[in-house]
Structure formats: C-alpha cells, structure tokens
C-alpha cells in the first residue's frame, strides 16, 4: 500500500483516514447504470494501492449491492481501511419505502451491513437522513449500544441540522457529519461548519464536484438518462447548466494558472477550508480516481483563496440542488 496520500483526522474522534476518500455509490446506484463488478473491484483495490483508506457506501445504494461490492473489494485489506455505511431507510421487496431510524431497526441493519461488508465492526455508521418520527437521542443511543458491543466504531450523521447534531452529540459523540458541500453549494459555511469546529466533529463532503458539473465536462447539450438521478436535479437542467457554466469557466481559469484540472481545484479548495474536511468524490474510471487524488498536492496562497471566494460569491447559481421530492427527505 502506497502511503503518499496524507492522512486527516475526522474531528476529535481519532478516526484517521486518507485526505480524500472514495464515494462508491455511483458504481451501482443513482446514475442509471450498474458498472461491471470486476472492473469496480479493481478500481477500489487500485484506490487502496494509491493510499486511499476511506470508502463510503450505504445499504440504500442498490439496495444492498453496493455494500456487497465494497465488502468483496476490500476483504483483502481488512483492518487497513475504514468503511463508512449508513442506515435509516425501510425496504420492502428491494424498494425503499421511506425513513426508519427506530433503534431496533438500526441494530438489525448493522448486523446485515456487517455481513455484506465482510467486516467485524463498521468503522463509521451514519444516520443517512434525520427521521422526524424518531428522537435523535434514541438514534444516538442505539448506535452507542452498537459501539459498546464492538459492532460499530464511530457514529455519524448525514445532512443533519444544528439542533439535531447537538442533541445527538450529547448522547454519543458524533465523529463526522456527511453533507453536500462544494464550491457551488456553500450553505454549510453559515452554521454547520462553525458548530462542527466547536464540537470537534469532522466533515465529509459528498458531491464535492457538484455531481460531476465542476469537472467541466458538461455543457447545455448534456442530457441524462431518466434512470440517472441527475435528470431530476433543477440546477442540472439544460437551461440552468447554460447559466451555471460561468461557474465552471471561473474554476477553469484557476486550473490553468495552477496547471491542474477543474476537478482538482474544486477538491483542493474544499480541503484547504479545514484540516478535518475529507471529501469523497465518486468515480467509476481509473484515470478520474488518479486525477482526483492529484488534488492533494495543490496549494493556494491566501490571496488566491481570497480571489476564489470573491469571484465565486458574485456568480449566482441557478436552480436548486435537489428535486422537491428528494429535498423533502432532508429534514434537519
């Protein structure tokens, strides 16, 4: 295993992982295609060989097949990598029927995830979405029990708000919050990031490349298959993409100055915000994996960061980050 990649600690928890993780969702869920298992196992193992030690999955991705893939791929590296997975949904005949974070359900999911992931303990177990029907203290209590039993090592939340983070953290210290955060979705900066700093909680940004938009590979002619969840995202509609290209052009200019790619600039910018931020870009392509990892070497001067912040704050992003249906699931 190559250890060139720097490590970062997620908050005060002592969970140390590579500075960039790998989001595995897109290998089997969300983008309309299920990638070849053999190829994806090779990609995940190549990530490990390159020094990545942090892998993200969830039972809902598939459901189940993404956890199975990650488990198979990482079995030879047991104990050398950290696997994060998530609970919080109900399934009937393989169909997601909505939120469920009841304590008994959380414990059942943990047992099932352990089997699929082929591990003895889940390194980081996130509540995937806040369940308005279950007090967050009960959720934290259930994970606390699992930690005592040695089945889970760390507790995480995803897309939770300030009040829920505080309440959960008081019952069982939260190691990491996973939330969308990128150059073009900066809402967490207002209240969430200061709170995480105060409580010593790490931040794991998902969609750090704006669901692919910030790589500079989309234009107004880009279309998504209806089975690709991006086809439902307002800010990725053809007319909004056209308006939002100003954002990519601006990132591209910085990339040229830095002899880097737009994706590398977007990731490097995230990592420079706080030493406890670990983005998890997803990919199904080996060259993209290596491109993303190249972001670790990029540094910015204080002036460059100031310029990026000033310029990006002047560009109004068009369109919401989620469809109305998906946004309903984000109950903070």
Q: How far apart are CA 2 and CA 21, in angstroms?
A: 14
pLDDT single digits (tens) 128-186: 999 999 999 999 999 999 999 999 999 999 999 999 999 999 999 999 999 999 999 99
Judge contact between 99 and 329, C-beta under 8 A.
yes
Residue 61 bears catalytic tag: yes
Q: How far apart are CA 139 and CA 324, in angstroms?
A: 26
**Does any domain span residue 96?**
yes
Total domains in the fold of the chain: 1
More confident position, 327 or 54 = 54
For the domain that residue 16 is a member of, what is the CATH number? 3.20.20.100
pLDDT single digits (tens) 53-111: 999 999 999 999 999 999 999 999 999 999 999 999 999 999 999 999 999 999 999 99
This prediction's pTM: 0.96
**Does any domain span residue 237?**
no
Q: What distances in angstroms separate CA 25 from CA 3, 91, 239, 324, 328, one per listed residue?
A: 25, 18, 27, 21, 21
**Does any domain span residue 87?**
yes
**Does any domain span residue 327?**
no
Other Cβ atoms less than 10 A from the Cβ of 303: the count is 8
**Does any domain span residue 266?**
no
Q: What distances in angstroms separate CA 193 from CA 162, 177, 215, 274, one per listed residue?
A: 10, 10, 24, 9
**Does any domain span residue 33?**
yes
**Does any domain span residue 267?**
no
**Does any domain span residue 82?**
yes
How much is the pLDDT for 82? 98
Q: How far apart are CA 140 and CA 319, in angstroms?
A: 34
Q: How far apart are CA 8 and CA 52, in angstroms?
A: 11
How much is the pLDDT for 257? 95
Q: Which domain holds residue 41?
A: 7-209+273-297
End-to-end C-alpha distance for the chain, whole angstroms = 39
Query: Per the residue annotation, which of 31, 61, 126, 181 is the catalytic one?
Result: 61
């Amino acid at each position: 295993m190559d250890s060139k990649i720097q490590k970062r600690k997620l908050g005060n928890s002592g969970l140390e992982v590579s500075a960039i993780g790998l989001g595995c969702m897109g290998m089997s869920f969300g983008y309309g295609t299920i990638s070849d298992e053999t190829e994806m196992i090779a990609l995940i193992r190549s990530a490990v060989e390159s020094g990545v030690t942090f892998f993200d999955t969830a039972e809902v991705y598939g459901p189940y097949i993404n956890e199975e893939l990650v488990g198979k791929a990482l079995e030879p590296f047991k104990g050398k990598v950290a696997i994060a997975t998530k609970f919080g949904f109900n399934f009937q005949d393989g169909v997601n029927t909505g939120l469920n974070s009841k304590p008994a359900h959380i414990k059942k999911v943990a047992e099932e995830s352990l089997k699929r992931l082929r591990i003895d303990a889940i390194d980081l177990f996130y509540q995937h979405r806040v369940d308005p029907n279950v007090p967050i203290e009960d959720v934290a209590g259930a994970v606390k029990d699992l930690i005592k039993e040695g089945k889970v090592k760390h507790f995480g939340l995803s897309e939770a708000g300030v009040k829920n983070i505080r309440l959960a953290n008081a019952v069982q210290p939260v190691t990491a919050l996973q939330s969308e955060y990128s150059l073009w979705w900066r809402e967490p900066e207002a209240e969430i990031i200061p709170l995480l700093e105060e409580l010593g909680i790490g931040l794991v940004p998902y969609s750090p490349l704006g669901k692919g938009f910030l790589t500079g590979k989309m234009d107004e002619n880009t279309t998504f298959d209806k089975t690709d969840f991006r086809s439902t995202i307002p800010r990725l509609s053809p007319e909004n993409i056209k308006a939002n290209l100003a954002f990519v052009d601006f990132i591209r200019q910085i990339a040229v100055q830095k002899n880097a790619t737009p994706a590398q600039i977007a990731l490097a910018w995230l990592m420079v915000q706080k030493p406890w931020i670990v983005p998890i870009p997803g990919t199904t392509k080996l060259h993209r994996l290596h491109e993303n990892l190249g972001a670790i070497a990029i540094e910015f001067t204080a002036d460059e960061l100031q310029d990026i912040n000033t310029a990006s704050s002047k560009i109004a992003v068009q369109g919401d980050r989620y469809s109305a249906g998906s946004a309903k699931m984000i109950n903070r």
